[in-house]
């Protein structure tokens, strides 16, 4: 009911022939393992980066909080999103 009349984009809607900078950042920062959560994480991150060009760690955590990842411990996902926004990330 919440999506009635809304336009919905899925991960396939982001797919092109090449990886997006966000997808590349997930790979470079080891932000996925089994990949089960990755489509949801990428969609949440894409929505966040459309609203905030340089999100803080707290904003990223809030944006992905509806996605459960049993593999990564989340920190690499936060780093990948932050790096995709052009911000420096620590080791």
Binding site for ligand FES (CB under 6 A): 32-37, 69-72
Distances (CA, A) of 23 to 7, 42, 71: 22, 7, 17
Other beta carbons within 10 Å of 15: 11
* Comparison of 32 and 42: residue with beta carbon closer to ligand FES: 32
* Comparison of 37 and 49: residue with beta carbon closer to ligand FES: 37
Task: Evaluate whether 21 touches 47 at the Cβ level (below 8 Å).
Answer: no
**Tokens, residue 3:** 């999506």
Least separation in angstroms between CB 6 and ligand FES: 26
* Comparison of 35 and 86: residue with beta carbon closer to ligand FES: 35
Least separation in angstroms between CB 38 and ligand FES: 6
- The Cα–Cα gap between 1 and 21 comes to 33
Least separation in angstroms between CB 37 and ligand FES: 3
């Amino acid at each position: 009911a919440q999506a009635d009349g809304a336009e919905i984009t899925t991960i396939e809607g982001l797919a092109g022939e090449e990886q997006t900078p966000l997808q590349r950042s997930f790979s470079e920062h080891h932000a996925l393992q089994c990949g089960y959560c990755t489509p949801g994480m990428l969609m949440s991150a894409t929505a966040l980066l459309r609203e905030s060009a340089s999100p803080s760690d707290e904003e990223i955590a809030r944006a992905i909080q509806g996605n459960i990842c049993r593999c990564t411990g989340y920190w690499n996902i936060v780093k990948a999103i932050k790096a995709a926004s052009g911000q420096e990330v620590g080791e």
